[in-house]
Structures are given as structure tokens and as C-alpha cells.
């Protein structure tokens, strides 16, 4: 699918502050530094659309990006950033959980996990929470370019085992790299499949006016 437009349409501190929209929304959530903002840029094919940083804690608000005037990608602040105070973490939890549980046009959450690491308890607890809240979710393994294939596969096997142990059932599991664009087609196709089709203009019948026959 071709991206014809990708626009930042606003940011919000919490659910009440979110821009009204009836377009399907797809949100990216995960630990700080896992690669959420980089993935938004990779999918939209616009460098710098979402702000990225090597330092965790860069994205502090809920950011909305409208794609092809057809659906919206939502870049969320990360969780589990140790340098953030307890009070700030609680604020984050309220901010993000309020959006995830209350946003009516939210179609799907992509829970991002770093493919360089074994599945972490905090990530599994977050995915468990998504499932308990009945929020549709898929998992994306990020930064696959940073490890050898066999390491990524071994972490994936561990993840599948952990998901089974916890009784967690994501819709899909994707593997991606914002650097090499691995996984872009699969994720975009999946999003497209969840969005209502744009009504196609009907091909009009050729005009048949009486005088034309003469
Ligand atoms: N090699 C490689 N680096 C990546 C990839 N994705 C992200 N990065 C790097 O990881 C760092 C964090 O990326 P971000 O996209 O800012 O991460 P984030 O999850 O949005 O972080 P917060 O906003 O702080 O929660 C940056 O230095 C990125 O360049 C990837 O697929 N491959
Ligand atoms: Mg970010």
C-alpha cells in the first residue's frame, strides 16, 4: 500500500485531551526506548515524523499521526523508565491506561518487545493487562537487525512459551526493524485489513443521449 500522506495532527496528555476522530486508530506501546517512535516513522515512510532519541523517555505525550486520511497511528510514551519518579510513572499509567481503555475508535494495540532481550516480566504483565481489559492486541518484536537471526528466533521461542504459560493470545506476532524496514509490508497490510475500505467511485455508465445516435 502506498502512503500518500502522513501528518501529525496533535498530541494529548490524557483521554479527555485527545482529538476527536472516527478514523480507526492503531497505537504503539512498550518500554521506553523499545522503538515505538522509530516504527511509526518507518511505517509512515517519513523520517522525523515522530521524535526519536537514544535516551529513554523521549515521547511524553500521546501523539496522533493521520495516514492517507484513512487511519491514525498513535505513538505513546513508554513505560518502565527507571529514571522517572514513582509519581511520574503513576501519571503515565493513568494517562496511557485511560487512553487504551477509553478510546472508542482504537482498533488495535501493538505491544512492542525488544527482540534483543528475553521476554521481560514487565512486558508480559502489560500484555496480560491488555488481555484482561479485552483490548485487541498484537506483538511486534523490534530491532531485529541488532541481533543474529538465531538469537531473535530463540527469544521468539521463549516468548511463545511465556505467552502459553500466561494464557495470552495475541492476534499476530510481527518481527520488524526500523533500520532495514523488515516487517513493514506485513504490518501495513494487517492495518489495512482492519480498516474499512474506502468507497470506490462507481464507474459511470457512458451517457446515452438520444441526439447522440443521430
Ligand atoms: N538498530 C536499530 N535501532 C533502532 C530500531 N528502532 C529504534 N532504534 C533506536 O532505538 C532508540 C530508541 O528509539 P525510539 O523510537 O525513540 O524509542 P521509543 O520506544 O519511542 O522511546 P520512548 O519515546 O523514550 O519511549 C533510538 O536510538 C533509535 O534509533 C531498529 O529497528 N534498529
Ligand atoms: Mg518515542
- C-beta of 178 in contact with ligand 1 (< 6 A): yes
- C-beta of 182 in contact with ligand 1 (< 6 A): no
Q: Which of 52, 111, 144 to mutate to test the pocket of ligand 1 (most atoms within 8 A of CB)?
A: 52
Nearest CA to ligand 1 atom 30: 143
Residues with CB under 5 A from ligand 2 (ion): 36-37, 58-59
Q: How far away, in angstroms, is 108 Cα from ligand 2 center? A: 18
pLDDT of residue 186: 97
Q: pLDDT tens, 194-207?
A: 877 665 555 555 55
> What nine digits make up the cell of 169?
493470545
Query: Are the beta carbons of 110 and 29 closer than 8 angstroms?
Result: yes
Strand order in the sheet with 137-142: 6-12, 62-67, 71-75, 25-30, 106-114, 137-142, 173-175
Atom from ligand 1 closest to the CA of residue 51 = 16
pLDDT of residue 161: 97
Burial class (CB in 10 A: 0-12, 13-18, 19+), 15: middle
Q: Which of 30, 32, 33 to mutate to test the pocket of ligand 1 (most atoms within 8 A of CB)?
A: 33
pLDDT of residue 203: 58
What are the Cα distances from residue 133, in Å, to 35, 45, 100, 126, 146?
Answer: 24, 32, 9, 11, 33
Q: pLDDT tens, 109-138?
A: 999 999 999 999 999 999 999 999 999 999
- C-beta of 57 in contact with ligand 1 (< 6 A): yes
> What nine digits make up the cell of 55?
535516551
Atom from ligand 1 closest to the CA of residue 142 = 31
- Complete domains list, the chain, with CATH: 6-197 (3.40.50.300)
Q: Which ligand is nearest to the CA of 47?
A: 1
Query: Are the beta carbons of 46 and 6 closer than 8 angstroms?
Result: yes
pLDDT of residue 39: 98
Nearest CA to ligand 1 atom 2: 143
Q: Tell me which residues of the chain have a pLDDT lower than 70.
A: 81-84, 197-214
Amino acid at each position: 500500500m502506498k502512503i500518500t500522506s502522513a501528518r501529525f495532527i496533535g498530541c494529548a496528555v490524557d483521554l479527555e485531551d485527545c482529538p476527536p476522530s472516527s478514523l480507526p486508530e492503531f497505537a504503539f506501546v512498550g518500554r521506553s526506548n523499545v522503538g515505538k517512535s522509530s516504527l511509526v516513522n518507518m511505517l509512515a515512510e517519513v523520517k522525523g515524523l515522530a521524535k526519536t532519541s537514544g535516551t529513554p523517555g523521549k515521547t511524553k505525550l500521546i501523539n496522533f499521526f493521520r495516514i492517507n486520511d484513512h487511519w491514525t497511528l498513535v505513538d505513546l510514551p513508554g513505560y518502565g523508565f527507571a529514571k522517572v519518579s514513582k509519581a511520574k510513572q503513576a501519571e503515565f499509567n493513568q494517562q496511557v491506561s485511560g487512553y487504551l481503555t477509553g478510546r472508542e475508535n482504537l482498533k488495535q494495540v501493538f505491544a512492542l518487545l525488544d527482540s534483543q532481550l528475553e521476554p521481560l516480566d514487565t512486558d508480559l504483565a502489560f500484555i496480560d493487562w491488555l488481555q484482561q481489559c479485552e483490548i485487541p492486541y498484537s506483538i511486534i518484536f523490534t530491532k531485529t537487525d541488532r541481533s543474529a537471526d538465531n538469537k531473535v528466533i530463540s527469544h521468539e521461542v521463549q516468548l511463545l512459551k511465556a505467552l502459553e504459560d500466561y494464557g495470552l493470545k495475541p492476534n499476530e506476532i510481527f518481527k520488524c526493524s526500523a533500520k532495514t524496514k523488515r516487517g513493514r509490508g506485513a504490518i501495513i497490510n494487517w492495518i489495512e485489513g482492519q480498516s474499512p475500505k474506502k468507497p470506490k467511485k462507481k464507474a459511470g455508465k457512458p451517457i446515452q443521449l438520444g441526439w447522440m445516435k443521430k
